[in-house]
Amino acid sequence: MKPQRVLALAHPDLIPPDTLEGVSEAERFTFKTEYEVMSTLRGAGHEVKMLGVQTELAPIRDEVENWKPDIVFNLLEEFHGETLYAQNVVSLLELLQVPYTGCNPRGLLLARGKDLSKKLLKYHRIPVPAFAVFPKSNKKVRRPRGLPYPVIVKSLSEDASRGISQASVVDSDEKLAERVAFVHERIKTPAIAEQYIEGREIYVGVIGNEKVQVLPVWELSFSNLADGALPIATEKVKHDVAYQEKRGIIQGPAQGLEPAVETRIRGFAKRICEALEIDGYCRIDFRLAADGTPYFIEANPNPEIAPGEEFAQAALHAGTSYQDLLNKILLLGLQRAGVDA
C-alpha cells in the first residue's frame, strides 16, 4: 500500500520514545505494543505521529483538523480510566469522518459487555457457560439455581484478565460472596460469575470487515502448574514473564484437535463476529471441554497485537509477517471508510 499519514492514539503513559537506546527491559515491556506498531509502520514507509489520550478529546479533534492524518491507528483500551468509554473515542472518530483501525463503536459495545455478548450468542446457538451478574448495588449475593459450582468470578467489563487469580474459581456461597466483594471493591465494577468449564484455553484470531479471515486456532497451555492450581488465564499468567517461564506456560498452535472440532471452532468464531458486529480485527476466547464443545468465554475487539502475543503469532503462523499484518489493519480501516489505498 502507498505511504499513509498515521495518527496513533495511546494512553499517555504508553507513548514510546523514538529509540529504545538506554531504556530498561521493564520499561520496554510496558509500551511494547505501542513501540512495535510505531516503529514497524515507520519502517514500512508511513509517517507516524503518536498522541497520548486519556481525559481530553480536544487533542484528537485538533490533530485531525491540523495534521490531517489519512487514518487513525487506535491503540486505546480505555478513556478516563474506564474500559467501556473507549468506544466513545471511536464514535468521535466517526463523527470527525476520519478512517480508523480496529472495531466500530457498536461492535465494541456489544463485545465488551460480557453479559450482553453471552445473551446474544446464546440466542444464536453458540454454547456459553451459565452465568450470573452481580451489580455493585447488590448488598446480598445469591447464586441462581441454574448456575452450578464451581464458578469463576470476574469483572463484568475489564479485560486482560484484570483481577483474575486462582482464588477467582470458587465452590461455595461463602467464597462466591467474598470474590464478588473483591471485584466490587478492588476492580470497582460489577461482577460476573460464570460456570467454570474444565478444559483447554483456546484463542482464535479473526481479521476482516465483511469478508473475514480466521487465523490458526491457538492455545494457551500449562505444563508445570503448582499442585491444585487450575489452568486458567490469570493476571499473572497473562503478564508475569518470570511466572510463565517457571510454570511452563506457553502459547502456540492448538495440537491434536479433531478436524470436526477445529472446523466447529473456526465456524463459531466467524458467527460470533457477525452476531456481535465486530470488524477490523479481534480475538475470540473459548474453553474447549473434554467432549469437544467450544464454550464462548469472551470477544476481544482490538486485542493485544505485539509481535510476541497470540494474535500476531497466529498471523505469522498463517504466513503474514508483522509488517504485513499492520498494513492489513490499516487497509481494512481505509476500506471501511471507502478510501482507496
Q: Residue 233: helix, strand or coil by DSSP?
A: coil
* Closest to 101 measured CA to CA, from 341, 340, 335: 335
CATH number at residue 175: 3.30.1490
Look up the CATH number of the domain holding residue 61. Answer: 3.40.50.20
Q: What is the pLDDT of residues 60-85, one digit of tens each?
A: 999 999 999 999 999 999 999 888 89
Residues 89 and 21 in one domain: yes
- Looking at the structure, tell me whether residues 204 and 233 fall in a common domain: yes
Rg over alpha carbons for the chain, rounded to the nearest Å, is 20
Whole-model pTM? 0.93
Question: Among the three residues 195, 212, 244, which one is the final residue of a domain in this structure?
Answer: 195
Where is pLDDT greater, at 157 or 311?
A: 311
Domain end, chosen from 286, 301, 316, is at 301
User: Is 200 in contact with 219 (CB distance < 8 Å)?
Assistant: yes
Question: Is 336 part of a structural domain of the chain?
Answer: no
pLDDT tens digits along 6-44:
999 999 999 999 998 888 888 888 899 999 999 999 999
> How distant, in Å, are the alpha carbons of 143, 155, 191, 213 from that of 130?
11, 16, 14, 29
CA distance 128 to 286: 9
Mean pLDDT of the chain, nearest integer: 93
Q: Which of these, 47, 102, 106, 40, lies nearest to 76 by C-alpha position?
A: 102
pLDDT tens for each residue of 306-331:
999 999 999 999 999 999 999 999 99
d(CA 140, CA 143): 10
Residues 181 and 203 in one domain: no
Nearest alpha carbon to residue 149 among 119, 128, 177, 169: 169
pLDDT digits (tens, 9 = 90+) for 179-203: 999 999 999 899 999 999 999 999 9
Q: Are residues 219 and 182 in the same domain?
A: no
Domain boundary among 55, 82, 101: 101
pLDDT at 284: 98
* Domain of residue 137, residue span: 130-195
In this predicted structure, the answer to whether residue 177 has a pLDDT above a threshold of 80 is: yes
Residue 118 lies in a domain: no
How does pLDDT run across 203-261, given as a tens digit for each residue? 999 999 999 999 999 999 988 888 888 988 888 887 778 888 888 888 999 999 999 99
Is the pLDDT at 160 greater than 80, yes or no? Answer: no
pLDDT the model gives residue 29? 86
Q: Are residues 64 and 152 in the same domain?
A: no
Same structural domain for residues 205 and 291? yes
148 and 85 in a common domain: no
**Residue 139 — very low, low, confident or very high, per pLDDT cuts 50/70/90?**
confident
| Residue 174 predicted with pLDDT over 70 | yes
Same domain, 96 and 140: no
Q: State whether 169 and 211 are in the same domain.
A: no
The mean pLDDT of 107-128, rounded to a whole number, is 95
Do 21 and 74 lie in a common domain? Answer: yes
- For residue 54, tell me if it sits in a domain: yes
Task: Let me know if residue 257 belongs to a domain.
Answer: yes
One domain, residues 203 and 292: yes
In a domain, residue 153? The reply is yes
Structural domains in the chain (count): 3
- The answer to whether position 13 is within a domain reads yes
Residue 210, domain member (yes or no):
yes
Do residues 92 and 145 both lie within one domain?
A: no
Could you list the beta-strand ranges (E) of the chain. Answer: 5-10, 47-52, 71-74, 131-134, 151-155, 169-170, 191-195, 199-208, 212-214, 218-222, 249-253, 280-289, 294-301
Tell me, yes or no, whether 52 lies in a domain: yes
Asked if the model's pLDDT at residue 161 lies above 80, the reply is no
